[in-house]
């Protein structure tokens, strides 16, 4: 099969198309003819040598999600068959013409979605749903601040929070991204280049703060994040684009009785991933199938142009997902 291979740690130019052996499905797996994959920040970190693949996933082939058609099923698989259109989350290996995944991680693609749209769903909606509802227990009538509202995770989180009946604040670095997020359901947009998000939250909440905060930035936002939170607020950290080390005053956590959690999906046991996949099937896919929420696709690159796709991601210019089409 064809795959984009990391030939050595480094910049986008280290990504090369090569012929590699086909993956072999086990008794509980399905082999999928991949039609599309998509980029995630973890891909750029792994390409640079800073984010090892979890056990069982290839070290040299990126890609945390896929969409495609089932080619073969393992002997224990009863819920899928050859020809089914499926998409799902991976530990790696998605930048390839074929992937193997556990059958319970493969979800049927809603009829209204094409393969490009489907590839833009798994990582961001899994991450956003798990962060907002499993970790922060976001509820109707609460308020939430979503950083990087124009990112893949951000566009998913804005829609999920809005659909739940939460009041949504969001940050982004351009008016175009803020406008795009507003069209998805964001109530108050904050340009972090021009405004102090903690002050905007304070003004709009009458000093109360937000109940939930989804952060992908980390160290650079730590103090302002705490200042933005309400009593008994819940913060979930899903990324550290602004650094991972802090020297912190811990007293606001006690005074506000805050709950701070961190999460990653990639390294979790398969049982936990299947549990989240079941939640997505039950709570999110019906909303996508009916058009209430949608995957947001920024650009589509051919698989052979994965290096250019990485450059585009690292420019921070994208609104939503960058997708790789696999011919």
Could you read off the pLDDT of 62-81 as tens digits, one per residue?
999 999 999 999 999 999 99
Percent of the chain residues past pLDDT 70, beyond the cut:
100
Chain centroid to CA 304: 23
Helix 152-164 to helix 175-183 angle (10° resolution) is 40
Across the range 106-118, mean pLDDT stands at 97
pLDDT (0 to 100) of residue 281: 97
Distance CA 186, CA 212 (A): 14
Label residue 29 by pLDDT band (50, 70, 90).
Answer: very high
Domains of the chain and any CATH numbers: 2-121+267-325 (3.90.180.10), 124-262 (3.40.50.720)
Distance CA 35, CA 302 (A): 10
pLDDT (0 to 100) of residue 250: 85
Q: How far is CA 107 from CA 25, 37, 92, 218, 255, in A?
A: 17, 15, 17, 32, 44
């Amino acid at each position: 099969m064809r795959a984009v291979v990391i030939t050595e740690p480094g910049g986008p130019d280290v990504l090369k198309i090569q012929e590699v052996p086909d993956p072999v499905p086990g008794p509980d797996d399905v082999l999928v003819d991949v039609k599309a994959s998509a980029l995630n920040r973890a891909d750029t970190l792994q390409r640079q040598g800073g984010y090892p693949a979890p056990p069982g996933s290839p070290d040299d082939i990126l890609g945390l999600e896929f969409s495609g058609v089932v080619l073969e099923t393992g002997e224990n698989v009863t819920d899928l068959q050859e020809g089914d259109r499926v998409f799902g989350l991976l530990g790696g290996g998605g930048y390839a013409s074929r992937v193997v995944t556990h059958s319970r991680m493969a979800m049927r693609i809603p009829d209204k979605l094409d393969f490009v749209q489907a590839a833009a769903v798994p990582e961001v909606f899994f991450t956003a749903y798990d962060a907002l509802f499993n970790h922060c227990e976001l509820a109707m009538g609460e308020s939430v601040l979503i950083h990087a509202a124009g990112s893949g995770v951000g566009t998913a989180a804005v829609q999920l929070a809005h659909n739940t009946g939460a009041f949504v604040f969001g940050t982004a670095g351009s008016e175009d991204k803020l406008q795009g997020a507003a069209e998805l359901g964001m109530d108050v947009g904050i340009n972090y280049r021009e405004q102090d998000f903690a002050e905007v939250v304070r003004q709009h909440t009458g000093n109360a703060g937000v109940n939930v905060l989804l952060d992908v930035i980390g160290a650079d936002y730590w103090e302002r994040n705490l200042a933005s939170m309400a009593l008994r607020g819940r913060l979930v950290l899903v990324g550290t684009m602004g650094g991972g080390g802090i020297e912190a005053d811990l007293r606001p956590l006690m005074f506000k009785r805050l709950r701070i959690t961190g999460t990653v999906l990639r390294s979790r046991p398969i049982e936990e991933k299947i549990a989240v996949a079941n939640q997505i099937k039950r709570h999110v896919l019906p909303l996508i199938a009916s058009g209430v929420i949608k995957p947001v696709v920024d650009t589509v690159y051919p698989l052979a142009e994965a290096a250019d796709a990485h450059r585009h991601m690292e420019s921070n210019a994208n609104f939503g997902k960058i997708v790789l089409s696999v011919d």
